[in-house]
Each structure stands twice: as structure tokens, then as C-alpha cells.
Structure 1
């Protein structure tokens, strides 16, 4: 596993063996200035991947983000598509508005998407989809 970044707001880790990015969001992001390296960190992670990579996104702790932060997520989602993502498995946020935000980002970018209840199930499904 290659740790791309780990901070109080998010974590990005890449598994070369599975060609998978593990993404975890923590808490509330008031504005883009709180996470100035967010897009650059994603670009570092994407540089590690091969086409057909997967993402396991643990968004359980995500709190509804302001519009400017949602736009950052949209930009990252667009870059996932351009880099050749095959599937994203999402452990959905507990916050109901955050669920709507993540759903709209996924839908607008037309990503192959699976919602799961926990990371273990997400891992299992992604493993089966990429056999």
C-alpha cells in the first residue's frame, strides 16, 4: 500500500496489487482553503493507477459540504473518468444531505457506482468485478 496522504480531513491510499485507491473523508470541510492540496493529492494517486482502476470511498463521516467544496469533488470525479476508472464503491455518508451531494456528483460524471454498507462489502464486490 502506498500512502498518498493522510490528514485530519481525508486519506488517500493506493494498492498496486489491486489497482485500487482507498479514499476516506473525515468530517466537515468549511471551504476549499482547508484542503488546499486535495486535487493535487488526487492527481498523485491517479499517477499510480493503471486504466481500469477502482476506488473504495469511505464517506461515512462526510458532513454536507458547501458549494465550493462540492465543486472540488466534482473536479476530482471528472479526473477519475479521464484516468480510466472502472468502478467506485461508496460507503455512503450518514448525513442525508451529503448522500444527495455524492449521488449528484456520481450521476453527473456517469461513473460506474455501487453503494455499500461497509468497506468489507465494497472490497469484496470490487474484487469480484475486476476478476
Structure 2
């Protein structure tokens, strides 16, 4: 796996062999600069993959975004869609408020997704569907 971004809030990695992006968000984000860095690095990661790529987004430890940053999350979803994302598996947040916010964003973007409980389950699902 090639690591594209790894800081206290975000992780982005890619596997060119699997044509897959791996995203993890953890904690509470209130800094727009960190979100903009994430968007830039996500674009770089998606550029390295072929159209039709898949993804796993581990959002288990993600906290709610302040309202002023929700548009950045929408941009992140649209960026993946326009870069050729076929399907993303999402590991849902433990926090019920974060879960509501994430589901609202998902429904607003039309991103193609499935939910899984573990990364292993997500990998198995994607490997089976390819």
C-alpha cells in the first residue's frame, strides 16, 4: 500500500494492484486547512487509480463536522465520484450524531456504497464483487 496522507485526523492510502483507495477519518475536525489538505491529497490518490476503482472508508472513530466544514465532505464525495469511483465500503461511526451526519452527506451525493462492520469484511466484499 502506498501512503498518500497520514496525520492525526486523516489517513489516505492506495493499492494500485487492487485499484483501491483506503480512507480513515478519526476525531473531531474543526480546522478547514486540514480538510483542504485532505481534499488535495484525495485528488492525488484518485489520480493514481484507474476509473472503476473501489474504496474502503473507515469512519468508526469519526466525530461530527462543524456545519461550516460539511461542504468539504460533500466535495470529497463528489471528487471520488468524478474520479471514477465504482463502489465504496463504509465502516460506520460509533457516534450516533456522526452517523446521522454521514448518512445525510451520503444521501446528498449519490455515492455508490455499502456498509460493513470490519475492514476484513469490506475487503472480502470488494474482492468478491470484482
Q: TM-score range by the shorter chain?
A: over 0.9
Q: Which runs of 5+ in 1 are unaligned?
A: none
Query: SS at the partner of 1:99?
Result: helix
Asked whether the 8 Å contact 1:31–1:66 carries over to 2, the reply is no
**Runs (4+) off by over 2 Å:** 33-36
Aligned to 2:13: 13
Cα offsets for 1:62-111 (capped at 9, x unmatched):
01111122211100101111111110100000011111111122211111
Q: How many residues align?
A: 130
Gap change, CA 1:50 and 1:34, over 3 Å in 2: closer
Aligned to 1:99: 99
What is the CA RMSD across the aligned residues, in angstroms?
1.1
Asked whether the 8 Å contact 1:20–1:54 carries over to 2, the reply is yes
Asked whether the 8 Å contact 1:31–1:68 carries over to 2, the reply is no
Greater strand proportion: 1
With the length of structure 1 as denominator, give the TM-score of the two structures.
0.94
Q: Which runs of 5+ in 2 are unaligned?
A: none
With the length of structure 2 as denominator, give the TM-score of the two structures.
0.94
Q: How far apart are residue 35 of structure 1 and its match?
A: 3.7
